[in-house]
Chains A and B, each alone.
Chain A
Amino acid sequence: MKHTLGILTLTVGLFMASCSNLLDVQPRQSIDSGVALTTREGINAAVTNVYTYQKDITLYGRDLIAIAEALGDESRIINRAGGRFINEGQNVINSHLLGWNIYYLGINNINLILDALPSSPFNEAERERIEGELKFLRALNYHNLARVFAYDPKVRISSLDRGGVPLVLKGVSTPEQIENHPRASVDEVYAQIYKDLTDAVAKAPTTGAPSRATRAAAMALFARVALYNEDFTNAIKYATDALNAGVGRFVGNTDYVAAWRSNSHPESVFEILFQTRQESLGVNNSLQSAYTTMESVAQVNSLGALRPTPLPTANGWGSVVPTTAFLGLHQTGDVRRQLYQLGLNRSGSIVEECTKFVGKSGVIYMDNVPVIRISELILIRAEALARSNGDQAQALADVNRIRTRAGLTALPTTTTNAQLQTEIELQRRLELAFEGHRWFDLKRRGRDVVKSTGNVPYGDTRTLAPIPVREIQANNKLVQNAGY
């Protein structure tokens, strides 16, 4: 009896002594945060990962493009997809652009790498390249956040202005680092974007375009940000620099349509790459499916040439389609009109659909998404020149470059500044249609959105997206946008 108890005590003692070992299980699919970013491999993989957030459905995967178009005035929504985009198309309250969490997820990962860089095994030149790349991406995230959730700097409606977005510049990886971030002012946000882009222009690599961040991409984004900020000097400067950087090729009239059929758009200064089949967002979530019922470049081409009876089966939902009024803006002979063609029968309707995203990668429901391309840069410079009463000849030359390439006649030198500005706006619409620009262009100019489902006048609170309610609940320092 005594022996038994003795042995039992010993056993239990032994058992407990090895307890720390007894309970030792290490995850095999994850790395401890403390060591993840101490190696070259770790940091490289983390940088790779930062790009993947841009592919999210709420960002360039679809919504930042398709919902922006649905909110704007160039599209109408056909109910072919169980109500997808219907509410956004009607600008129903709370149906708006999304992505708050994804932007900040990307930003935090960027911040963590930036924090880890100084003690990383990379040499100074390598660190600089990574820093430049990441600061471009951080600027892109903040600019998209700012234009979705806040007013643009020069057209604020002070009675409704609740500020910019929270600026978070330090990485968070432990519970102690959690903060309730308040909204920074719009100017502070823009100042930070300027700062990041200045660094990116100086430090980002010169190779890797268009799917990686480069100096050219940083210049191009700087030009766009400066235009939103009505800082025409910088817009002109950086648009010019970017155009001279040798990234992206201004395509001609003959290969204009072909450019939209190739996997990577030749004009792209920066584009989001979808490469492997598993990256496809599928029928329910892809940009292709939002825009068209057609399945592939081949099908678009063959249907363009001949429409057989019966028609092939529809694939995508094709719910966000151009309005007749928008199609009517194209003059006869405009090559860009060829990017809209009759799709397939879904839910009893066959309509003209935008074919800019038709599975160009060769995989259905998967397209690279140009973020900034040469034509936008030309139009940025033209607009900045025209609106700042700068070099009118250059502005005219720029807009004529777009016009003549499309197959239209050049405007005469007698064109007035007002006419020029109107024309630039029109060319922006035609050139960048269905690429997610129009909604933001109207917003940064303080224009009303005029559409048959009900107008959204500038000053209507639906101009800004609501900050997710859970954010307001979780963060007592965060102020919701007016009207929500």
Chain B
Amino acid sequence: MRNTLQQLCLLVMVLLGQLAWAQDRAVTGKVKGDDGSPLPGVTVLLKGTSRGTTTNAEGNFRIEAPATGRLVFSFVGYKSQEIAVGNQSTLSVTLESDASNLNEVVVVGYGASLTKKETTGATANVKGKEIENLPNPSFDGAMQGRAAGVQITSNNGTPGGAVQVRIRGVGSISAGNEPLYIVDGVQLNNRNDGGGNVSNNPLAFLNPNDIESIDILKDAATAAIYGAQAANGVVLVTTKRGKAGTKAKVNLNMYRGVVEPIRQLDVLNTQQWIQARQEALITNTPTLTPAASRTTVLASLNLPVDLSDQAIAELPTYNWQGEAYRPGSVTNADLSAQGGNDRTTYYISGSYNQQDAILRNVDFQRFSGKMNLTSKLSNKITLDAGLTAASVSQRGPYGGSEGSLAFGAPQYSAPLILPINPIYAPDGSYYGLPASGIVMPGDLSQNVIANSNLIKSKTGTRQLVANLGLTYAINKDLIFKAFGGLDYRSVNSSFFGDPRLSDYFNIRGTLNQFVNNNTNLTTNATLNYNKTFGSKHTFGALLGAEYRQEINEGTSLNAQGFPTPELNTANAAAEPVSVGGFWSGFKRAGVFTNLRYEYQKRFILSGIIRYDGSSRFGANNQWGVFPSISAKWNLAEENFLKGSNVVSDLGLRFSVGSTGNDQVANFAARRLYGLGGVYQGNAGIGVSQLGNPNLRWERNVTYNVGLDYGFFGGRLKGSIDAFQRISRDLLLTRSIPQTNGFNSIFENIGEVQNRGLEFAITTVNVNTGGFRWESNFNITFLDNKVTKLFEGADVLPGNLSVRVGYPLFTNVGVPYAGVNPANGRPMWYDPSGNLTYIVRTADQRPLGHSGITKQFGGFTNTFSYKGFELSGLFQYDFGRVIQNTQEFRLADNAGVLRNGLEYYFTNRWTTPGQITSVPRPANNRTEISGRVSSYQSGTRFFQDASYIRLKQVSLSYTVPPAVVSRLKLSGLKVYAQAVNAFTLTRWTGFDPEFAIEGGLDNQGIIPQSRNYTLGVQIGL
């Protein structure tokens, strides 16, 4: 019954599209540039609607429009023009070229688009062109450094791996901080379903070269239309569409290149390690003679204890990092065709993308197909259909893909394995496999190269994203649109642990397999009204309803005991160990409206209200209201500026509004008994969740003041925004005393404040004699602070880094005081500032820095001259101070049977009076007095992770049209590109870019790589 009712609701909405009333007529015309040449590809849009077309190769267009309608003509590099249709049936339009892009169209959701001038909200835009051919498998990573206020951090360097996008800071402590992604109207699920085997970025289904533009809604002025999902901002992706009336355009695009490690860590050689180990043993047993210590050390390395100094000096050192981190390749090929007539346009593309990680046998491969079709079924009805199908195959590393502490994981262990261990036996086989009877000395006794090469970790993602929209022009002012979107994803993952490897030898191999299917449906209906009264008053209204549901389910199995390594399907296993399964889902529904009033283009007022419901919340609070109001004053339209030749654009924006965040577990509000453990072969159930019937949205209130400016005909232009984003009623996992039988309860408590300033500046520095130099600079200053927790708590129990008055990710600990020069022992400062050897947990305190970024942005310079173009993007991120947890494991100076960094060896304390920060080597990292704390304790390893890097530099040459046409082509461009060419940082690990949110760090991750590619673009 429920379902029937729902279906009925939807049916009625769709049927509305079949009803017809008023009459439009055809308007034709020609668009020229100010130099008199016809302009193909100009967007012609019936204002306030999504109805539009583009001019053909001759600059001609045809569109159905009511007499009272207004047509908006916009084209990159030209000022937009708006013309009232009136009685005219043919129009001749001349567009004025413009260096300012303030008149470009901004997509603001539910098919609506406004010119930049009309936008009352803070938005950022990344053109498809800017990220074209970047070797990033997913568009989120490609946006890095290109949009003010949008911070992008890759979790790690896995190609096609997870990326964290934070728009205007981190507002939530326990709930998600991911923006809402919408591709051609389809709201995507961007959960990583790789299950740990691979870092699986759900946005990687889309070939970035299929993207026309990305619009980012940053404040409530525009984002509030997405209500409860918009608190972290909205990213709207529009893919390429065919241009009406143009000749079919076929583009072939290929690039190929290499991927290489950015750096290796300098670790000890065998001799240095033996030396440090001898010292470490003597530290803890002062009675031990150097000779006896040496005997013990040699024995622990399985070496004859009577080796001479000479023989020790000749011991080999093997470079495990060099073998684990290997250069790889990157390849991309795509073919697209687009075109259309005045009724139907199409864009079709197919692509192949392959990219290796710098870790052996970890890669990404995608086949994708894309089709966009727009067709006018009648003068009133337009159909817009899109389909993207992608098949992604990824091979994952040994150990977790988002960081691993597994001894068998090369990304963790390669620098830690004792350097005396060979990688290969003399006969070329792997050294130290269990069957050989040889045991590699050291804690890390697995041949990680064999692990890398012999495991089979494969994850396939099949994704289908489809959208279907039916637009019906009820009359000249009123447009109805019904929309349905599907995002279907099936992840098939398997990990086969080869029985020849240490971890799987005695269980004779293991196979873990899972299937995860996600079906995500969005449907909405909107009614859009737009009318200009007189010549001064324009009124617009959007009314809509939306429904979204998602079902996520899966099964898994584990089996062991394989006859041979070659047979590795589940049926070959002797013993099924376990099976698993899960089911989860949510539903959302909402109605929304946006009312706009415009006075003479000078004053614009816009208001949004959305009423949203989500199944995730408590029975008492499933529904919420999200309003926003915004205004803009276009000063440049005022008489006192209208004739100015200095000021070409000046607009002041203001907005305030509220948006919601519901990124919590689907059943977070329920009181639950869940599956417990198994005993005596019976499955048990145990109380699993306290529940909270009052659980509701986390609410963001955003204030924004912005200024859009353009001077000197747009040679200097950009925008400045100041914002305050207050995230209140946080969906917080409040720690409760575990004596209650629970760790925490989800409650709406606490408040985080993000304040910031964003600057975006574009300048044309030189534009003479065919030489052009353009700069794009953006910087965001962020100030993050926890302003409230819950009653009686200034610190979040269980997470000392969350404290009132401090930014999130505040670093806490007992400050390290360096080494006692007298005896080489590490010391710390107790709360009264005295030196101590003991770190007490209770003495931890804020250290005055945090892991949150304070400034970030990018700086692009483009130089072009006669077909040559040189472009470089510097991307930077300042202010993160993070514990280098990887180095933490590499600073033992042979205190344990692992290798470590040369830095700590060279700087270790050896003689009384020596001033250094590195304590003397000590066995087991602890001096021999029980109460003394371990050398790893406290705050020794905090480092500044700020960096600035040459993210991208490319040189391209566009072959002149004359030559191209002789080759019977329509275009030809060749280019060379380098990504992550160099990085300036004080961070001493592999790379300073990695995510820390969600408990991630830099231990055992695959670091970023450096890429070089060569490519060609051919227009057929």
Contacts and interface: CB of A to CB of B under 8 A. Distances in A.
B308 interface: no
B678 to A, nearest CB: 6
A108 interface: yes
B775 interface: no
Interface stretch (A90-98, A126-134, A377-385): A90-98
Given A22-B6, A49-B685, A7 B16 contact: yes
B311 interface: no
Contacts of A93: 838-840, 930-931, 933
Given A4-B480, A25-B615, A172-B741, A33 B687 contact: yes
A178 B685 contact: no
A8 interface: yes
A309 B582 CA distance: 49
Given A21-B6, A275-B681, A311-B437, A31 B934 contact: no
Nearest to B472: A4
Interface residues of A, number: 114
Interface stretch (A12-20, A252-260, A398-406, A436-444): A12-20
Contacts of B688: 30
Contact of A345 (B439, B798, B924): B439
A18 B300 contact: no
Contact of B672 (A30, A181, A347): A30
Contacts of B931: 91-93, 462
Contact of A11 (B16, B435, B673): B16
Interface in A383-431: none
A92 B926 contact: yes
Contacts of B886: none
Identify the interface centre among B16, B302, B435, B741: most chain A CB within 10 Å of its CB. Answer: B741
B75 interface: no
B645 interface: no
Given A453-B928, A473-B797, A473-B798, A11 B9 contact: yes
B404 to A, nearest CB: 13
A100 B738 contact: yes
A453 B798 contact: no
Interface residues of B, number: 118
Contacts of A18: 2, 5-6, 9
Nearest to A449: B930
B545 interface: yes
Interface stretch (B37-45, B167-175, B501-509): B501-509
B675 interface: yes
Contacts of A314: 439
B925 A83 contact: yes
Interface stretch (A189-197, A241-249, A463-471): A463-471
Nearest to B617: A23
Contacts of A466: 841
Nearest to B735: A474
Given A11-B16, A314-B439, A345-B439, A46 B686 contact: yes
Interface string B282-308: 000000000000000001111000000
Contacts of B678: 48, 52, 275-276, 278-279
A48 B683 contact: yes
Interface stretch (B80-88, B584-592, B868-876): B584-592
B378 interface: no
Contact of B675 (A12, A29, A112, A177): A29
Contacts of B585: 25
A364 B16 CA distance: 66
A79 B588 CA distance: 54
Contacts of A32: 670-673
Nearest to A21: B2
B618 to A, nearest CB: 10
Given A82-B407, A86-B924, A468-B738, A108 B691 contact: no
B685 A46 contact: yes
Contacts of A278: 558, 577-578, 678
B680 A275 contact: yes
Interface string B6-20: 101100110010010
A438 B16 CA distance: 80
Contacts of B924: 79, 83, 86-87, 90
Interface stretch (B441-449, B699-707, B952-960, B1008-1016): B441-449
Contacts of A345: 302, 439
Contacts of A50: 684, 686
A142 to B, nearest CB: 12
A277 B575 CA distance: 9
B443 A82 contact: yes
Interface in A265-280: 273, 275-279
B470 to A, nearest CB: 15
B677 interface: yes
Given A1-B21, A3-B19, A364 B441 contact: no
Contacts of B690: 172-175, 178
B622 interface: yes
A180 interface: yes
Contact of A52 (B543, B676, B839): B676
Contacts of A276: 678, 681
Contact of A315 (B442, B506, B691): B506
B525 interface: yes
Contacts of B740: 104, 108, 168, 172, 177-179, 181
26 contacts: A1-B475, A8-B16, A8-B527, A11-B13, A16-B591, A18-B2, A27-B667, A29-B675, A36-B673, A45-B685, A53-B677, A79-B924, A82-B896, A87-B934, A111-B741, A174-B691, A175-B745, A179-B740, A275-B680, A279-B677, A283-B503, A348-B302, A349-B300, A471-B738, A478-B739, A484-B840
In order of increasing CB-CB distance, the 6 nearest A-B pairs are A108-B741, A49-B684, A52-B677, A49-B676, A36-B673, A470-B798
